[in-house]
Structure 1
């Protein structure tokens, strides 16, 4: 369905305002399922989702549609899932040609499986591919971080009973969240579609 940019932004703002009402994700890169690491990310208070996420949900409604069986915590990472996770991370990293967004917020658009794109496109594409393979949405959380240069960056956080893992276009490895060199800002709520929470006690 075609929408004007004005109507998209207006709808996005309405969705954002409605979304601030709820509180509420490790392994070494080895061929087999890694040993248990109990480290899980600490979820904080409710946070506004990124505006570009809201626009993304308007464009890709199926990606953000509430799912019937949403209850439950982190999933168990079997050997089959571990192999699939690494394959998807690698395949998407190779399929999308890196393209830096030089226009700031005006140039932001989260696109699934584009030929060229930035971190946002990699993250939503990985989530899309895993959802297509039957992975539960509650375990696949888009997450905003800040890299060493101060730039904001989007990654996909995978919540497992053995620890929270990060799929990132800046590295071919699937890493524990605690072993990434980032400052964590906010993440999708694992309990409610469309809502986000801060990371840790301090939050944003």
Structure 2
């Protein structure tokens, strides 16, 4: 867990590493709010089917769906420890992917849904899988990078990337520049990949359930 004072010190360090001040400040806001006092990790309920588009994604990008051997001892065990480098990873990847993909709605519904890595134009699915891809390339373990389907306040199904870190689950989202705890992302949570196997998805227990 990081105190506000320590996070501010990390912010200065990250700026010194070369991340733009605008992206750093935008990305860090969610981290300034303590994780204590909230449901820290998302709770699963019963197993459920993966989205059909995820199955098609795995056929296109097979390596993105196969757990890799643990080669980084820092990741042995459960959630990822938030070091300065790991915070930098989250901020840089979230900002760079949000910048690099021009938003484009899928007007064809489920029939036209494709999850593509780093396209020039795309929707929420493309942002989420691209961020997951970039963090995997930086050595993050697959078990802590979980795609999650949510429903927005206006009733639209939406895909985000949940990153499981020490202290709680945080959300990388193309609809918000801030990296927030999952309880700060005011969505109805539907289903998510499970840490044990990315091909297995589970429904998400609703608050108070």
Report the TM-score when normalising by structure 1. 0.80
Give the structure 1 partner of residue 185 of structure 2.
Answer: 180
Map 1:87-102 onto structure 2 (within 5 A). Answer: 87-102=92-107
Higher RCO (CA-CA < 8 Å; seq separation 6+): 1
Q: 2:78, 2:35 → 1: CA distance?
A: 16
* 1:66 is aligned to 2:67: yes
Q: Is the partner of 2:149 in helix, strand or coil?
A: strand
- Summarize deviations over 1:131-159 as a string: whole Å, max 9, x none: 00100001100000000111100000000
The counterpart of 1:110, out of the listed 91, 104, 115, is: 115
Q: 1:201, 1:167 → 2: CA distance?
A: 20
Q: 1:113, 1:86 → 2: CA distance?
A: 17
Give the structure 1 partner of residue 156 of structure 2.
Answer: 151
Q: 1:132 to 1:173 in 2, by over 3 A?
A: same
- Summarize deviations over 1:144-191 as a string: whole Å, max 9, x none: 000011110000000011211000000111000000110000010011
The counterpart of 1:192, out of the listed 174, 182, 197, is: 197
The answer on whether the counterparts of 2:106 and 2:113 sit within 8 Å (CA) in structure 1 is yes
The counterpart of 2:125, out of the listed 120, 141, 145, is: 120
RMSD: 2.2
In the TM superposition, residue 71 of structure 1 has moved relative to its aligned partner by 7.2
Q: Which has the higher helix share?
A: 2
Report the TM-score when normalising by structure 2. 0.78
* 1:54 is aligned to 2:59: no
In the TM superposition, residue 27 of structure 1 has moved relative to its aligned partner by 10
Return 5+ residue gaps in structure 2 as ranges: 12-30
Return 5+ residue gaps in structure 1 as ranges: 1-25
